[in-house]
Structure 1
Amino acid sequence: MNDRAVAPPGSGVPHPPKEKTVDRSTVHRHRWQILAALCLSLLLIGLDHLILNMALPMIQKDFASTGTEMQWIVDSYTLTFGGLLLLCGSLADRFGRRLLLILGMVVFLAFSLAAAFSTDAAMLIAMRAAMGAGAAMIMPATLAIIKDVFPAEEQAKAIGIWAGSAALGVPLGPVVGGFLLDNFWWGSVFLVNAPVVVVALLAAAFLIPESRNRNHPGLDLMGALLSAAGLGVLVYGLVEASRNGWTDSVTLVSLGVGALLMAGFVVWERRTAHPMLAAGLFGDSRFSGSAMAVAAVSFGMFGSLFVLTQYLQFVLAYEPLDAGVRLLAAATMMIAAPLSPKLVERLGLKAVVTAGLVLLTGALFLTSGADIGSDTQVIWSLALFGLGMGLTMPAAADAMLAAAPSGQSGAGASVTDAAMQVGGAFGIAVIGSVLANSYRDALPSLGQLPPEAATAVGDSVGAASAVAGSMGGEPGRRLLDAANDAFMAGLTDSMLIAAGVTALGALVAVVVLPRRTPGTGAGAGGTADAHPAGEKRPVETARGH
């Protein structure tokens, strides 16, 4: 029985008001328009993150933010996003996937507007955290709806396009952000969300049918609390390590408590009667191996972008638009993503995911040798990174969705998204910490500076640039040169760490992933909504379609 089937008469299951049955053939006739609406929702999330990276230097100057505050401006969004994804995926299965999608877009819009008019770093961090909660409602719903409206044989292709739309945010984010920042203040990067949300909301209202698991056993609130708290404390410890050091008691306690909370989450999920996910799902090699691959990709992507935006704008002194144009090199993702499902059919899941991670490792290693006087090597490395990400992400996402049980498609999709966002949060935290510590270690003695100026210079290259500008003359130039040299030392160390993580991901893919999945497309293999060709699908309940 499909989770979308109508409850039989006399079953005692109440039918929500104002519902009508949907002819599945009619829904499928509009499936590509529905996919376009879902991709627009996804584009909103990717566009926002990359635009913000371009705005970080301006925000730092406006608010006089510390390096740690800069990391939290990014990480607060990623943390709530990743921490709430499992809960939101379960809520989508229980109450409706389209409902969560629309609610998420409304929340995202409201707090985007508030973020644009933040008055200090603390307010911006809070608004970004709330935006992350909205994004957590949006992203798992998009994948779950793909599984609902596409037949099994088309799902791999649809997910390839889904991943490609995420890739589209890479070139669009920096370029749109650069244009806005060259002509307006940094808050404009949040206001640009408004027209995108309005179009996506209209499309969702008129195109996307509602779907839910009418036999949902109930919400795993304790599991959601443990996972969110565990991830939050872990990332807090990693981010604060850049300020307190890795041996500081706050760092060590945070990391230890976070690890214990996550261990508690695993134990709870194995023992509770109604877990967020089927108990044996992580024992499925294609699911667990793909989740680790997605996390490794996101670790490298988010961490490297955090470093490279500073490199382009502070070290090479590019204006935001010029820096954004150079990041267009990563648009090679748009070439590789549609090819990924075809390559999986021909070569197998293991080969494609491993090859993508190897390309990512090579790209990050190439970035570690960036030149302080030229961006050529970084541009080539971004192009290589885009190819690797475009190969890995669609293949891994499709494998994870294929393994998820039919009644938990929202929760299963949320694990894909959680691996992406949590991997990104850890990437920013670890890479930011390594960058900050290596940068400080490489700086010469600052004893000749006033204490307040010396502290600012030691905090980040952006602050050092501001201090050097206020000094002027030859002393200012020498200070700026020393800060840039120290930043490049930090860039090398941080990119080598990132390359090590993606190399480890490639090794995991070789060991864990099966050579081939049981079938092509999400839903193959018997755990998803597979229907034989020509078989009529069950009628589902829908709201407002």
Structure 2
Amino acid sequence: MSVSDARRWWAVGALALSALVVGLDTTVLNVALPTLATDLEASTSELQWFANAYNLVFAAVLLPAGLSGDRYGRKKLLVVALVLFGAASVGCAYSGSTDALIWWRALLGLGAGFIFPLSLSVLPVMFSDEERPKAIGMVVTASALGLPLGPIVGGWLLDNFWWGSVFLINVPMVALAIVAVLLLLPDSRSPEPPGLDLVGVLLSSAGLAGITYGAIKAGEKSWGDGTALTMLIGGVVLMLLFVVWQRHLAARPDGKPLVDLSLFRSPAFTWGAVMATVVSFALFGLLFTVPQYYQAVLGADALGTGLRLLPIIGGIIVGARVGGKVTAKAGPKRLVSVGFLLMAVGLFMGAVTDTDTSYGYAATWIAVVGLGTGLALPLAVDSALGALSTERSGVGSAVIQTVRQVGGTIGVALLGTILTSSYHSHLEVGSIPDRAADAAGESVSAGVLVAQKLHSPALLSSVQESFVHGMNVMLVVCGAIAVVGTVLAALFMPQQAKREQPGTDPVAPADAQPRGAL
């Protein structure tokens, strides 16, 4: 039956809430790591695996998630994924050991890996080409807002409750999302279900997990680390085999590949996915380093650090609203280019920070970066999805999210390496004991702690100045990446996405459920 506009937009609100939960959980754990190290007696390696277990599973299941939604029904699987995410959140909160928390975090990643691509894939079914950019913008913006909101929510919870509360906060949000999805969301699937490509699932999952783990390991150790190189090379080889296998299946009359590589024949899809990844690359770099700057240089606590990220949230919201209002007139090509240009301006502004710079200046430049992000990211994703028929929206949204996730992970590893090497090269530890010097060189947080224990103002000054130098170098790199994004968007993104026609789609859309129907 037909549904009112109000009901459809309430359904988008439910999807945005689902995406917000995933974005929030990506960063909320960061502020709880020191507490977990004490309460669970977790080692540095175990602390890293709390995050890595989530990221590895998340990356590995994205492509199968998109296919499963197209095959079995997007609404049904979204509800299952939300239930799993909520249950895993409870498991994380009440974990009594590091091993238990790692396993529950992996299940959390499994649920998250289904939630976001499925949330995006139903929007082209529900909305016309004119309404779709606004709907996609709401969901993508909610996900982006979750990243800086994580430290704010986590900091407040840790100040008032025990560490498990950073996971339990997911439960009421997930429960609300489940009820809203069940009541408001139309069910949809491809009229001709895609085949279950088990070989493709195994190759892509193993390949993406290998690349993700290799990038994480390289960020922790170095890009010359044997394990990191082995996993990176192995992951790339598996993904090349995956492409060969997909081509083989596509050439067979009865072949049904996991990913139809003809998706990439669309300039709007390809460049929209590339632009979304470049935005994530630069944004993840900022979120990786700025909280450390607030704590180690400005002396903020966990909650204070989160609150100081509010300007980027404001910028993202304003950018998304402006983009949604003017995209019909200006087109995504110009707006994405302008968004990247704003990001570059903000990042280069941040790159002249020193230890005496005021918070007001920091708030200004991160707000400019947020404005550019809010303008570029939703429109880049909409450009990519807008080029697809509704029947391929599931696998298409999964491909976009996969590229973003892997690109963001590699970006954090690369930018982290730049930051660390710059920090080490400028750090002067003087004549302090070797063990203290090694500890100070591990990170800026450790360096500040060592300086405070030794009551050494000279060491503290060196630690802070070295970190700010490394941050500035990293922000210059991020700014350069944003400039490249500006040029690429201006040169290669089409002015308007041209949706696939039924005759060109391998999945016949004749039985497709009309947009705006339940």
Normalising by structure 1, what TM-score? 0.85
Give distance in 2, aligned partners of 1:381 and 1:86.
Answer: 36
Shift of 1:294: 0.6
Read off the aligned partner of 1:333 and give its amino acid letter.
I
Look up the SS of the partner of 2:438 in the other structure.
helix
Native 8 Å contact 2:263 2:396 kept in 1: no
Equivalent position of 1:287 in the other structure: 269
Shift of 1:242: 3.7
1:504 aligns to 2:484 (yes or no): yes
Equivalent position of 2:355 in the other structure: 372
Structure 1 residues 370 and 224: CA distance shift in structure 2, 3 A:
farther
Read off the aligned partner of 1:317 and give its amino acid letter.
G
Q: CA RMSD in A?
A: 3.0
Equivalent position of 1:526 in the other structure: 501
Equivalent residues in 2 for 1:202-281 (5 A)? 202-272=179-249, 273-281=255-263
Equivalent position of 1:116 in the other structure: 93
Equivalent residues in 2 for 1:351-362 (5 A)? 351-362=334-345
Instruction: Find the partner of 2:474 among 466, 472, 494.
Output: 494
Bigger Cα displacement from structure 2, 258-267 vs 394-403:
258-267
Instruction: Find the partner of 1:312 among 294, 319, 337.
Output: 294
Shift of 1:334: 0.9
Shift of 1:408: 1.8
Give distance in 2, aligned partners of 1:70 and 1:494.
Answer: 24
Look up the SS of the partner of 1:280 in the other structure.
helix
Structure 1 residues 65 and 389: CA distance shift in structure 2, 3 A:
farther
1:34 aligns to 2:14 (yes or no): no
Shift of 1:291: 0.5
Equivalent residues in 2 for 1:161-180 (5 A)? 161-170=138-147, 172-180=149-157
Equivalent position of 2:252 in the other structure: none
Native 8 Å contact 2:59 2:209 kept in 1: no
Structure 1 residues 131 and 213: CA distance shift in structure 2, 3 A:
same
Instruction: Find the partner of 2:72 among 66, 79, 95.
Output: 95
Native 8 Å contact 1:348 1:517 kept in 2: no
Equivalent position of 1:141 in the other structure: 118
Gaps of at least 5 residues in structure 2 are 250-254
Matched residues, number: 507
Structure 1 residues 432 and 275: CA distance shift in structure 2, 3 A:
same
1:194 aligns to 2:174 (yes or no): no
Q: What per-residue deviation string (whole Å, max 9, x for no partner) do you get for residues 480-538 of structure 1?
A: 332222222221222222223333333322332113333xxxxx4536999xxxxx996
Look up the SS of the partner of 2:496 in the other structure.
coil
Gaps of at least 5 residues in structure 1 are 1-22, 519-523, 531-535
Structure 1 residues 480 and 184: CA distance shift in structure 2, 3 A:
farther
Give distance in 2, aligned partners of 1:508 and 1:223.
Answer: 31
Equivalent residues in 2 for 1:312-461 (5 A)? 312-330=294-312, 331-373=314-356, 374-445=358-429, 448-451=432-435, 453-461=436-444
Bigger Cα displacement from structure 2, 489-498 vs 244-253:
244-253
Structure 1 residues 123 and 174: CA distance shift in structure 2, 3 A:
same
Native 8 Å contact 2:216 2:409 kept in 1: no
Structure 1 residues 259 and 170: CA distance shift in structure 2, 3 A:
closer
Native 8 Å contact 1:157 1:341 kept in 2: yes
Give distance in 1, aligned partners of 2:189 and 2:180.
Answer: 19
Structure 1 residues 539 and 170: CA distance shift in structure 2, 3 A:
closer
Give distance in 2, aligned partners of 1:173 and 1:458.
Answer: 27
Bigger Cα displacement from structure 2, 374-383 vs 36-45:
374-383
Shift of 1:37: 1.1
Native 8 Å contact 1:79 1:425 kept in 2: no
Shift of 1:282: 0.7
Native 8 Å contact 1:368 1:493 kept in 2: yes
